[in-house]
Amino acid sequence: MKGLFWNDFYRPKSLDDTLMANDIRIKIKGWVESWQRGEVTKNALILWGDPGLGKTTTAFAIANELEVPVIEMNASDLRDRQSIKNIAGLASIYMDLFSIEKKGCSKVILMDEADNINDSRSKNGSSDTGGMNELLNVIRNTRNPVIITMNDYYGFRRKSGGSDIINNSLSIEFKLYNRRRDIDYNENVRKLRTNIIKIVEENGFRISQNDVSVIIERNFPDIRGIINDVQSIAINSNSSMMENLAEGQRDSATSIFEIMKEIFRGRNYEKIFELLRDKDFDTSDLVLWIDNNLPMEAEDPLDLVNAYEILSTADIYLGRVIKKQHFRYKVYAEDISAGVFNGISTVNKKFVKYEFPSMIMSMSRSKGSRSARKNALKKIGKITHTSSKGATDLLWFYSAIASTSKENKIELMELIGLDEKEMEIITG
């Protein structure tokens, strides 16, 4: 075993191992090579974009490529003028004691999550400015590569000194990979799959290509999530892989299946309640799980009718939780649904593989399009002075206009202010 979490151990060590678009990789490599050759044009590299896309990982991979240590100042460090001067400033012009034999640059200075660096003027009224100006000084005078990561590039630019810092840096945006047909995407997934299989085998476990693909599909582009899933499945390899996968919440894997088994097969009220006490999912999830798996357990139609009668009573109470905002009703729903077995007279003896509620699956799959639809309706509502619900009745009209010609479609998009995804929803 390589430590407790594979995630930490297998953080990509080289730029080729990190997951990013090739054009970004080429730009970053060019910057790294400029330091290796000693022909630096930009002292700093700005990596910006949403969290979790590998900006910090990339910074560490760059240091690895240069074979130098990282001097990191992140959001948990104080980053006013004085501390930036004392740490990043000092580090930027002096050699690193851990790489004294190294020619050329001697360390990478990483200013992580630079969004929150202090840029306010000091209170004593002198010309003393905050951390941003000191960072600018560091970048101007540094003899070592500086990497800055941030989420909000435009917010950073607005700060005092922000645009000067940007002008002295090479800026690269990290973007989410959504274009599934993209060559880079496929290449990255292939690379990822090979790496994951390697990780699993290095730790003495086995996993099939297909299972890896399913896990990647589910988590992409969150590599951290992918590796966590792979690790938990590999370690719990005696339990069925698909059982682990079908269940959405990572920690409750055993409990929900146990509860299903106890409700349908054990038929022991006390035991079911005991298990339900430790559950970490919602009562509505429980009802959905029973709903989805009931037809497989109750094969006699009469049993099915009776069981659904009980379950629907539970569902009524769930509805009242929302309607009356009275959360105590949840207990009724839970207790009633736990008694579903009372409706089933012939207990199923065959093996049943409990399935993840298809409703939750399809809801999560359609999440993107549902929110796009909501936004589109809101925008239409705004120009037609109706509520977004009222705008539903107008959809056919815009759809008809959009389908007449491409020009009309574009004009419509501009008029209402729709993006392509929202337009797609309207045209169907």
Partner 1 sequence: MTKLSISIKNLREIIDLLNTVVSEAKLKLDSNGLNVKAVDSAHVAMIDIHMNRESFIDYDVDQEDELAVDVDKLKGIIKLATSNDNIVMIKENERLKFKLGSISKSIPLLDNSSVLTPKVPAIHSESYVILRKGELERGLKAAEDVSDAIKLIMKPDEFRARSASESEDSEMVLQKTDLIELNCSTEVKSSYPLDYLLRLVKSLGNAEELKLSFKDDYPLSIEFKTSKDAVEGVSGFFLLAPRMEH
- What's the min distance (Å) between Cβ of 196 and partner 1? 29
Using the CB atoms, write b or e for 277-311: b if 16+ within 10 Å: eebebebbbbbbbbbbbbeebbeeeebbebbbebb
Q: Treating both helix axes as pointing N-terminal to C-terminal, what angle do 283-297 and 358-365 enclose, rounded to 10 degrees?
A: 120
Site map for partner 1, 156-195, x if CB under 8 A?
Answer: ----------------------------------------
- Which of 382, 396, 289 minimizes the C-alpha distance to 340? 289
- What's the min distance (Å) between Cβ of 264 and partner 1? 47
Query: How does DSSP classify residue 53?
Result: S
How far are the Cα atoms of 245, 270, 298, 337, 344 from residue 313, in angstroms, in the given order?
Answer: 30, 20, 18, 8, 16
Contacts of 254 (CB under 8 A, 6+ apart): 239
Question: Judged by CB under 8 A, does residue 78 bind partner 1?
Answer: no
Question: Judged by CB under 8 A, does residue 91 bind partner 1?
Answer: yes
The DSSP element (H or E) to which 110 belongs, if any, is: strand 108-111
Question: Judged by CB under 8 A, does residue 87 bind partner 1?
Answer: yes
Residue 138 burial (10 A CB sphere; 0-12, 13-18, 19+): buried
Q: Quick one: which of 71, 117, 263, 402 contacts partner 1 (CB under 8 A)?
A: 71
> Which segment (85-93, 183-191, 285-293, 332-340) binds partner 1 by CB under 8 A?
85-93
Site map for partner 1, 122-161, x if CB under 8 A?
Answer: ---------------------xx-----------------
- Tokens 């910074």, residue located: 59
- What's the min distance (Å) between Cβ of 145 and partner 1? 12
Site map for partner 1, 355-384, x if CB under 8 A?
Answer: ------------------------------
Q: Quick one: which of 1, 37, 100, 270 contacts partner 1 (CB under 8 A)?
A: 100
Length of the chain: 428
> Which segment (83-91, 296-304, 363-371, 384-392) binds partner 1 by CB under 8 A?
83-91
Name which of 95 and 361 has its Cβ closer to partner 1: 95
List the structure tokens of 221: 């582009």
Query: How does DSSP classify residue 3?
Result: S
Give dist(CA 198, CA 190) in Å, integer: 12
- What's the min distance (Å) between Cβ of 120 and partner 1? 24
Contact present, 326 and 340 (Cβ < 8 Å)? no
Give dist(CA 277, CA 267) in Å, integer: 17
The DSSP element (H or E) to which 174 belongs, if any, is: strand 169-174
Q: Quick one: which of 65, 96, 243, 297 contacts partner 1 (CB under 8 A)?
A: 96
Name which of 40 and 214 has its Cβ closer to partner 1: 40
Q: Quick one: which of 18, 43, 56, 106 contacts partner 1 (CB under 8 A)?
A: 106
Q: What is the Cα Rg of the chain in Å? A: 28
Query: How does DSSP classify residue 72?
Result: E
Give dist(CA 213, CA 229) in Å, integer: 12
Q: Quick one: which of 90, 183, 235, 322 contacts partner 1 (CB under 8 A)?
A: 90
Site map for partner 1, 12-51, x if CB under 8 A?
Answer: ----------------------------------------
Q: Treating both helix axes as pointing N-terminal to C-terminal, what angle do 367-384 and 358-365 enclose, rounded to 10 degrees?
A: 50
Give dist(CA 157, CA 271) in Å, integer: 60
- What's the min distance (Å) between Cβ of 376 and partner 1? 51
Name which of 102 and 224 has its Cβ closer to partner 1: 102
> Which segment (98-106, 131-139, 181-189, 370-378) binds partner 1 by CB under 8 A?
98-106
- What's the min distance (Å) between Cβ of 81 and partner 1? 15
Name which of 94 and 327 has its Cβ closer to partner 1: 94
Q: Which residues bind partner 1 (CB under 8 A)?
A: 69, 71, 86-88, 90-91, 93-98, 100, 106-107, 143-144
